[in-house]
Amino acid sequence: MAQRFGGKYSPNGTPEHGPIPAHRRPEARHPEESRPLWITLAAVPFLLGAFGHGPFALVRALAAFALIAGACWTLREGLRAEFAYVARSAARKPAFPRKILGSVVFGLGLAVGAQAPQLGLVGAGVIGVVGAVISLVAFGLDPLKDKGMEGVDTFQRDRVERVVKEGEAYLAAMRAAITPTGERQLIERVARFETTARDLFRVVEEDPGDLATARRYMTVYLEGARDATVKFADLWRNTRDAEARRDYEALLSDLEANFTARTKQMLEDGREGLDIEIEVLRDRLSREGLAPAPRQG
């Protein structure tokens, strides 16, 4: 079946929308995420030269490739963790410094793979150290400290993380259920709803006090959306029921509208709180003769 391609730049594409600016939404992929793959491909000659030179050379070549491939996977995961960290105004440092570890393992892989007899152990070690340093320069260090966490209730922050994780699991299940249908418009429709839901997640992550009002959306509503998506996908695969499709798309539209409205309301509440703080500070400064009196009316 032919599929119509779309996107925000296509004639019938869907533009970015929602209360959260686009630059505050983490993309699906880190812009440098593919670079470690090329390093893995560059290590393929270790495999090609592993045979025909005896068992010791075989083990060393295979170990070198395995170490480099593992390092590249670790580096990619480190890039993803860093991207999620940067996209948030308040975030904990990654639990494990993946990029640093990946760079060290990469250098170790180069050292193991250095087979020229004239190099010796010292030469192989130098190559490993240089490789690790180059990797650190190319990919940088992992975030090593929390940001925006000053004065934050750790217990409340942990609760938010658990609820967001649960919500992300529901979204992943929706995506997994709708993808096998092969209907590009439906897949894009679910992806757009994912973006809307993550806008709500982002606001709650930045202000954990909003969890009480948003928890129902992040758990009960998303669980219902997941169940409806699974049932619709099964029905669509078997019957191609056009009415069921219209009902499902209408459900997504209603959910998206409600999630967007809740997100906007929480953002407006935050703005109202900021305005109150500003007025209180202005009034205090004016009483102390440090600023003009606030304007009336």
Cβ atoms of 49 and 82 closer than 8 Å: no
At which residue do the structure tokens 């967001």 appear? 164
> Residues 6 or more apart from 279 whose CB is under 8 A from it?
294
pLDDT tens, position by position, for the chain (297 residues)? 334 434 443 434 444 455 555 545 554 566 778 888 888 888 888 887 767 677 787 888 889 999 999 999 999 999 988 887 777 666 778 888 999 999 999 999 999 888 766 678 888 899 999 999 999 999 999 888 877 666 566 777 888 889 999 999 999 999 999 999 999 999 999 999 999 998 899 888 888 878 888 889 999 999 999 999 999 999 999 999 999 999 999 999 999 999 999 988 888 775 555 555 566 566 666 666 665 555 554
Task: Tell me the two tokens of residue 165.
Answer: 């994780």
Dihedral of alpha carbons 165, 168, 174, 175, sign: negative
CA 113 to chain centre: 34
- The burial class, CB within 10 Å (0-12 / 13-18 / 19+), for 146 is middle
Say what the alpha-carbon torsion angle 205, 210, 212, 214 is, to the nearest 10 degrees.
Answer: -70
Q: Which two tokens stand for residue 30?
A: 């880190």
In DSSP terms, which residues pair with 91 in a beta bridge?
147
Residue whose structure tokens are 């925000």: 8
